[in-house]
Structure 1
Amino acid sequence: MPGDSEDPNADRQYHLEVTGDDVADSVLLPGNPDRIETITDLWDSSRTVASHREYRTATGRYDGTPISATSTGIGGPSAAIALEELARAGSATFIRVGSCGAIQPEIDVGDLVITSGAVRQEGTSEEYIHNDYPAVADHEVVSALIAAAERLGYDYHVGLTMSADSFYAGQGRPGFDGYEAPGSDDLVETLRNANVKNIEMEAATILTLASLYDLRAGAVCAVYANRQTGEFRTEGDARAAETASLAVALLARMDQRKRELGVNQWHAGLSLD
């Protein structure tokens, strides 16, 4: 576009500082840069390839499969930058690996929530497409995450996620000095009655952009808190990281199986055995 101050298609991406040689086809997307080490500790091998602002990227292998992880920071705007630049570098499969608050009483702290679709209560995705466009996880990624959680024996739940732009007012929490945003008093109850499983801040943006760009994406989050029971503990990060890493390895096997059989989509009639 005329007047651009930098070339967004340059070989080395502007914010992430990665090139196509630095990242694998499949990338895990934690929010917190410190979670990169939690993830890579589970891999066969890894190396840090870039670190700039909130974006830290490592690449290696898990179960022999090439894999990368890039931290996105908090919220939709920075997550969109990460996905945009990773896609430009050649990556095509993305799995958010995060933490969340559950809003259904049967979900325990430490469980995993695998997102099938997201309520777009953030603003970033609306800058790409009107708000009645759905944020839907890729069915192959969801299947791989479920299979991974089953194989690892981790408790998990599958369903809808709400993505917000605010940790406080946007999730029905009081702001500074007790400030309450309009509608915040019944937000969580409304979502619970609609069978939404959890609240976090990035999934809707990632899923929407992936669908627009014909990429694969999904999300798995460790439950830190249950907004119904009031329980809070920061646990489950390693379980989410291992589930996502194994899902990438399973997706690679699924893709290989599709190539062998000459089909375009994974389905229940195929087998990984």
Structure 2
Amino acid sequence: MLENNYPILEFDAEPIAVIEPKRIYAARDVPKHAVVCFFQEVLTALNDDHGATILHTLRSEIGPHPVYEIEFQGQRLAVFHPGVGAPLAAALLDEVIAMGCTKFIACGGCGVLDSAIAMGHVLVPHTAVRDEGTSYHYIAPSREVAASASAVAAIEQTLLKHGTDYLPVKTWTTDALYRETPAKVRRRRDEGCVCVEMEASAFFAVAQFRHVEFGQLLYGGDDVGGEVWDNRGWQNHGTAREKLFWLAAEACLAL
């Protein structure tokens, strides 16, 4: 059997692990709604300009990971940075779920597999190809995993309300940004992937396992669709990043 040769396929559905988040992070007074934000400059602005308070500080070996609270549209909203890459992002999400948050929208950037997708164009992943390792510890092996239908609907309704053009997409989640070879890019594009990032499939798997709602907003960033990478200055697109955050916040509160 394949699982005898490949440990990543040895899924165990046992709900309680040796290190269980709820034994470490007891439920507390936190908002039900949370935005998972990859944009550190947006988080800094929330702290400086929008009266954000720190609910709790998660920790890893790279340092503190504050979980903020702001008031938006008359409601409480938690906001946190999940780190980069599926293992850390999934672990921090799991910890915030243990604290009591249950409705999540993430906002971040991604590489595009189609050079025609403009810098800053909004993408809404419906499904993600599981080319990372973390998701296989949360749900049984499969090629793809879907975002929560309710979260996708809330995102798309919010975008339509604001007249924001977007593409519903399949994304490719991979652990190894330096191994996105031309052949792999073509293979993923052939199966319908439009973009590539490092966390979505793990997020969706954790959400399914923990029975919470999770959706994601991305913006088109660097171009990996050609033989040579084009950075396109994607991390300097500040206006698009801030706009995406507030769209994510509104969509989250609509859940």
TM-score (norm 2): 0.80
User: Residue 217 of structure 1: CA displacement?
Assistant: 0.5
Instruction: Give unmatched runs, 5+ long, in structure 1.
Output: 14-18, 173-183, 252-273
Query: Residues 45-101 of structure 1: CA distance to partner in whole angstroms, max 9, x if unpaired?
Result: 531233442522111221112211111111111111112111111111111211101
Distance in structure 2 (CA, Å) of the matches to 1:50 and 1:29: 15
1:244 is the counterpart of 2:254 = no
Who is 1:20 aligned against?
28
Is this contact kept in 1: 2:25–2:95, CA < 8 A? no
Q: Secondary structure at the match of 1:20?
A: coil
User: Residue 32 of structure 1: CA displacement?
Assistant: 4.9
Equivalent residue for 1:61, pick from 71, 82, 89:
71
1:163-182 equivalences under 5 Å are 163-169=173-179, 172=180
Who is 1:50 aligned against?
56
* Number of residue pairs aligned between Structure 1 and Structure 2: 229
User: Residue 150 of structure 1: CA displacement?
Assistant: 2.1
User: Residue 231 of structure 1: CA displacement?
Assistant: 6.0
Query: Residues 205-255 of structure 1: CA distance to partner in whole angstroms, max 9, x if unpaired?
Result: 01011112221001111222232364613322112201101102322xxxx
Is this contact kept in 2: 1:57–1:68, CA < 8 A? yes
Instruction: Give unmatched runs, 5+ long, in structure 2.
Output: 1-17
1:1-273 equivalences under 5 Å are 8-10=21-23, 12=25, 20-21=28-29, 23-38=30-45, 45-51=51-57, 52=59, 53=63, 55-132=65-142, 134-169=144-179, 172=180, 184-228=181-225, 230=230, 232-233=232-233, 234=235, 235=237, 236-251=240-255
State, as a whole percentage, how many aligned pairs show the same letter: 22
Distance in structure 2 (CA, Å) of the matches to 1:7 and 1:211: 17
Distance in structure 2 (CA, Å) of the matches to 1:57 and 1:20: 13
User: Residue 185 of structure 1: CA displacement?
Assistant: 2.9
Q: Which amino acid aligns with 1:118?
A: A
Q: Which amino acid aligns with 1:201?
A: M
RMSD: 2.6
Distance in structure 1 (CA, Å) of the matches to 2:48 and 2:141: 38
Distance in structure 1 (CA, Å) of the matches to 2:113 and 2:49: 29
Distance in structure 1 (CA, Å) of the matches to 2:74 and 2:206: 28
Higher helix share: 2
